[in-house]
């Protein structure tokens, strides 16, 4: 049974069911949004799309989000159209695919550099506050020194930011590569 009782662990089957439900819901909403265009009412669809884009661009991260979305659609269109061209044996599609993979790799490298700089800055801040990194584990857990027993409450979240940012970058990279949905 897929229903979860209070206190039960969430099973893999239940999570798969929820994910499938989210995907179907998104597909149905997208089909409803695209209905005017499919039915030939292109002007109505264009007005609706422009109003949604204007609404989204006014939000805090809307412009950046629209830029990313448009880049993904452009890359996927280049791949699709490139693979359709049999005169060139689909080479443009392969080139577009390689360019997308190179872009994803470059984005991950830039994010890793930024995370490393932030992590090193947090370690330096922790040392300045009297903490020293322990050699146990990749996260370099900060521990108190004997000279300064008082702990700065900002040091631990800063150290944990490295692990959290790595997880976010990995999820975003997987979504951009088409390995999973970017949102749940």
CA-based R_g, the chain, Å: 23
Token representation of residue 162: 């490295």
- Residue 179 CA to residue 174 CA, distance in Å, equals 5
Residue 122 burial (CB count, 10 A): 21
Question: Could you tell me if 150 and 143 are in contact, meaning their C-beta atoms sit under 8 angstroms apart?
Answer: no
Q: Which residues of the chain have pLDDT under 70?
A: 1-9, 132-184
Token representation of residue 129: 């506050």
Question: Could you tell me if 79 and 98 are in contact, meaning their C-beta atoms sit under 8 angstroms apart?
Answer: no
For the full predicted model, state whether its pTM sits above 0.85: no
**What per-residue confidence (pLDDT) applies to 36?**
94
3-class secondary structure, 134: coil
Give the residues across from 142 on adjacent strands: 133
What does the pLDDT look like over 133-170, one tens digit per residue? Answer: 554 444 444 444 444 445 545 445 544 555 556 555 55
């Amino acid at each position: 049974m897929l229903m979860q009782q209070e206190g039960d662990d969430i099973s893999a089957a239940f999570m798969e069911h929820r994910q499938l439900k989210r995907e179907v819901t998104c597909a149905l909403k997208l089909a409803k949004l695209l209905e005017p265009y499919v039915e030939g009412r292109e002007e109505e669809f264009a007005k609706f799309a422009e109003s949604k884009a204007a609404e989204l661009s006014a939000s805090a991260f809307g412009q950046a989000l629209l830029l990313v979305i448009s880049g993904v659609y452009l890359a996927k269109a280049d791949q699709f159209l490139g693979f359709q061209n049999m005169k060139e044996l689909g080479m443009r599609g392969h080139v577009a695919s390689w360019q997308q993979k190179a872009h994803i790799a470059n984005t991950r490298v830039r994010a890793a550099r930024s995370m490393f700089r932030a992590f090193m800055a947090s370690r330096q801040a922790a040392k300045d506050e009297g903490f020293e990194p322990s050699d146990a584990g990749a996260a370099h857990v900060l521990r108190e020194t004997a000279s300064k027993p008082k702990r700065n409450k900002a040091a631990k979240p800063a150290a944990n930011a490295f692990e959290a940012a790595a997880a976010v970058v990995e999820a975003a990279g997987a979504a951009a590569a088409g390995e999973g949905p970017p949102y749940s």
